[in-house]
Chain A
């Protein structure tokens, strides 16, 4: 069972456009929602993260919007650049008795056309 559902699977935008990637979850025990960026052949790198007590977080050109009641969150990339072309994963984490368990979405492949 996929704990975090991510869409779309792939996305193509023109340079300067604002791609939006959406994720949804069901488990209200999740208390932390990071996004990772992955380039081909590399491991995922932390991009930006949010806690459910805030509705929006911005870091540079990247913004997370969080809707706690709808159990949805999304990543917006402002003024997208060809160098942003990568696969993006959303994740959700919850504390457990033995640590923190992270669950990942299936990823969105973003292509930014020059």
Chain B
């Protein structure tokens, strides 16, 4: 079990550029989540996949954000035309989905990808 892996760990980009983050979930996990975290705040939900299907998107996810999980394994989060307000840590998490209640579906986070837009 190698845990949730995210790449790159840090990205500095100029305003207006596009950036893409990659997440590799824990291998047997079929659910994958993206969260955003800013300093002094808890993680905020962005979107969620079960296998390759994107099942839920937050209102925080503007049109400039797109996420994919093409083969139900790794996922990418792309931010187009970055703005300074996009500066944050982008967290990926994964879980199983074999339980009807939440307790068996604990989410496990990666180390996060820090984005700084200058």
Chain A contacts to B: CB under 8 angstroms = 6, 30-32, 34, 36, 41-46, 49, 51, 89, 91, 93-96, 98-107
Q: Which residues of B contact A31 (CB under 8 A)?
A: 101-103
Question: What is the chain B residue whose CB lies nearest that of A44?
Answer: B109
Q: How far is the CA of A100 from the CA of B93 in the complex (A)?
A: 12
Contact flag A104-B103 (CB < 8 Å), given A43-B111, A98-B50: no
Q: How many residues on B have C-beta within 8 angstroms of the other chain's C-beta atoms?
A: 30
Q: In the complex, which residues of chain B have a beta carbon less than 8 angstroms from the beta carbon of A103? A: 45
Point out residues on B near A: beta carbons under 8 Å. Answer: 4, 6, 31, 33, 40-45, 48, 50, 55-56, 91, 95, 97, 100-103, 105-112, 114
A22 to chain B, nearest CB (A): 15
**Alpha-carbon distance between A46 and B112 when the two chains are bound, in angstroms:** 15
A-B contact number at CB 8 A: 75
With A34-B106, A98-B56, A99-B55 known as contacts, the answer to whether A105 contacts B42 (CB < 8 A) is yes
Alpha-carbon distance between A94 and B109 when the two chains are bound, in angstroms: 18
**Given A31-B101, A93-B105, A102-B45, list of 16 further CB < 8 A pairs?**
A31-B102, A32-B102, A36-B109, A41-B114, A43-B6, A46-B108, A96-B56, A99-B31, A99-B50, A100-B95, A100-B97, A101-B56, A103-B45, A104-B43, A107-B40, A107-B41
A1 to chain B, nearest CB (A): 12
- Min Cβ gap A55→B in Å is 16
Given the complex of chains A and B, what is the CA–CA distance between A81 and B87 in angstroms? 33
- What are 11 A-to-B residue pairs whose CB atoms are below 8 Å? A32-B101, A32-B102, A43-B6, A43-B91, A44-B43, A96-B56, A98-B48, A98-B50, A99-B50, A99-B97, A104-B44
